[in-house]
Every structure is written in structure tokens, then in C-alpha cells.
Amino acid sequence: MPRVKRGVTARKKHKKILKRTEGHWGARHKLIKTARESMMHALRYSYRDRRNRKRDMRQLWITRINAASRMYGIKYSDLIHGLALAQVDVDRKILADLAVTDLAAFGALAKAARAALDQQKA
């Protein structure tokens, strides 16, 4: 089997790692070993935080919906339950957007939820 010189392949791998670690601090974007370690940590963090971003956004939407619903005298949980009873299929992302941009439309949904709750109690 012939001898293989790995200079080109190794350089290509190293350049790929150094390209991904641009902007990292100090040796973490200059030296191969530390750059590789920095890249692996960064990839792990980005994977984890893509999932955490979904959690954070849902939490923000719920906070916004709750604040807007209390302006109409109804709690968040009652609003969601009332919308389910009224068979209004609007997700939290859209509700939060309505709460911020179109308060009148959100108020109409809150009134529909309250009517459905009142009808269930009666």
C-alpha cells in the first residue's frame, strides 16, 4: 500500500474548525486543540438552546396573554379554558401577537371565552 501524506487533508480539517470558531476569544479561535474544544462546546450549547428558546418564547407568550386577559377581567387559565369550550382554535403565539398588536380582536376572543364559561356554569 502506498504511503499517504496527510498535509492537504489535515489542513482542510483544521481550516474548517478555525472557520467555525471565528469570533471566539483568545486561543479558542487560533489553536487547533482549543478551537476544536470550543467548537464542540458551542455546538452543544446551540443544540440545547434551540430547545430552550422554544420554552422561553412560550413563557413570554403566556405572560403577554395573561397581562392582556386581566385587562378584560379574566384570568389566563380561564381564558384558555373558555376558548377551548367555545371551540376557538388559536394557539398561544397568535394570542400573544393579538394581545400586543390588536387589542380589540383579543378583547373579542376574551368575550367569547367568558360567554362560553358562563354558558357552562349555567
Question: What does the pLDDT look like over 39-95, one tens digit per residue?
Answer: 999 999 999 999 999 999 999 999 999 999 999 999 999 999 999 999 999 999 999
Specify the number of domains making up the chain. 1
- Side chain identity at residue 72, one-letter code: Y
Residue 4 has pLDDT above 90, yes or no: no
Q: What is the pLDDT of residue 49?
A: 98
Q: What is the pLDDT of residue 5?
A: 83
Calculated CA dihedral for residues 28, 32, 37, 43, nearest 10 degrees: 80
Q: Which residues contact 14 (CB under 8 A, 6 or more apart)?
A: 32
Does residue 1 sit within a domain?
no
Domain hosting residue 76, numbered range = 7-121
The CA distance from 35 to 23, in Å, is: 11
Average pLDDT, the chain: 95
Q: What is the pLDDT of residue 117?
A: 94
Does residue 117 sit within a domain?
yes
Does residue 110 sit within a domain?
yes
Does residue 2 sit within a domain?
no
Query: For position 33, which CATH number holds?
Result: 1.10.1900.20
76 touches 66 (CB < 8 A): yes
